[in-house]
Chain A
Amino acid sequence: MPMNIAYLSQHQAIFLNTWHFFIFAVLAVSLLRAFCRGIVKRLIVSVLNLYFLFYFVGDGYSFAVLLGFVVLTYGIGEIRFRWETKLPGWVPFLLTVFCWGFLILAKNPNLVSPVNVFRLYPIRIVGISYMVFRCMHYMLDAAMIEKRRMGTLLNYVVFFPTLLAGPIERYENFQAYYEQDKLLDPESVLPALHRIANGVIKKFLIADTLASLQLCRPDRSAELLWIGMFLQLAILYWDFSGYCDIVIGLSRLFRMKLCENFNKPWLARNVQEFWERWHISLTSLIRDYCFNPISVMIVRRVKPARQFPLIVLAYFFTMMLIAFWHGTTMGFFWFGLIHGTMLVLSQCTKHYILPRLGASARTKWMDGLLWVTFRRVVTYAWISPTLLLWRWGPETTWEMLQTMIGMK
């Protein structure tokens, strides 16, 4: 099954709707509400994280590799903090490439198999993409982090509520909760319970029920495929945001406020806005550590007249990275290619066409309710078929599209 959401969904299901997880969550909340300060709290968080990691996530070997990666991250952080001014400017770039390389090779052991060590020693850790990205965030920001502790970093990387599918919290936020005894959200029991209930309804009642109908399968009729295709994005939203609701609600119960991962993605008027509203913690991290450095380099080194095509290429490249973060199959490659092309078209429209319309025309047409609604519907309709690529790959997706338009 292609990575990552379908794969993730399988595992989330195993974890979140078992009595074991329920009892674990109740115990965690009770302990962390009772002991919300000092070394006792840190000890409880550490024990809960280790238990969750061992029992729910991976085997001993995978855990050892992960621990090694965290130790390496800490070491790199120390070097960067102490000798930041003496290190060459390309070090952040090298670290970014290293993290991406590790992630892609670990997730796909058959990729460049002669030199890929994970082919012989595969690691099986659910949520590895999230953990590697937390490490990357620490490595790249270490020069600005005053208090760096190995224990805090380890607990940050494997923090159990966000371990499986994010959101990818920033280190400073976790540190504020873990070390500084800062109660980030003290009055939040009732809203938190509402959030968890909303999450359970969205994920287990709506998303799983609709997914169990399996409307979008290659052997379905054209009519069902059309309905299934347009439902896919909604199902994925209810599934993933429902999961995030449960996690955010659970964290609020022990007084930690996690960042939001979705901001009404159905209101997006173009692909760029969609990615600003969808899986925000991931896209903001990739924007900060991949897109922004490339853009700054272009602005500094290239003449203004030649900057736009290169910035557009940077958008495309960033989109390909987002696709590869989700998985390394051909389906994800085509997904990145299509979304990247849509981003390029969106930027070209902004750069070449909109300025020629004039301010009054833009206000009258582009911001009018009818036009905005049309753009939202078109964005949703454009993105929906690309999700078929995640699950079915390019060949089967093409066959399904042929069935839908009556060519088969």
Chain B
Amino acid sequence: MKKAIPENLRVFLSLLFLVLKLWIIIHFIYQGQTSFIYQNF
């Protein structure tokens, strides 16, 4: 039988992944790699 991932670990990993996504978004905005966002923000 498969062992389920503990709830706390699941939430922690999810938060970590969310922070990574936010870092990617902010990184792109400040680097101006998407000129569109760069101009609008």
State the A residues within 8 Å of B (CB): 13, 17-19, 190, 193-194, 197-198, 200-201, 204-205, 208-209, 212
> Would you mind naming 7 contact pairs between A and B with Cβ atoms under 8 Å apart?
A17-B37, A18-B40, A19-B41, A190-B11, A190-B15, A197-B25, A204-B25
Residues of A within 8 A of B28 (CB): 204-205
Interface string of B6-41 (1 = CB under 8 A from A): 000001001101100110110010000111110011
Across the A-B interface, the 7 shortest Cβ-Cβ residue pairs:
A197-B21, A208-B36, A17-B40, A209-B34, A204-B37, A205-B28, A190-B14
CB-nearest residue of chain A to B19: A197
Contact B24 A204, beta carbon cutoff 8 Å: no
Residues of A within 8 A of B40 (CB): 13, 17-18
Residues of B within 8 A of A18 (CB): 40-41
A193 in contact with B18 given A201-B24, A205-B24, A205-B25 (CB within 8 Å): yes
Residues of A within 8 A of B24 (CB): 201, 205
Contact B11 A208, beta carbon cutoff 8 Å: no
> How many Å lie between the Cα of A209 and that of B24 in the bound state?
14
Distance in Å from the Cβ of B35 to the closest Cβ of chain A? 6
A205 in contact with B22 given A13-B40, A190-B11, A194-B17 (CB within 8 Å): no
Distance in Å from the Cβ of B13 to the closest Cβ of chain A? 11
Contact A198 B36, beta carbon cutoff 8 Å: no
Residues of B within 8 A of A204 (CB): 25, 28, 34, 36-37
Residues of A within 8 A of B35 (CB): 212
> How many Å lie between the Cα of A113 and that of B18 in the bound state?
52
> How many Å lie between the Cα of A193 and that of B17 in the bound state?
11
> How many Å lie between the Cα of A212 and that of B28 in the bound state?
15
CB-nearest residue of chain A to B28: A205
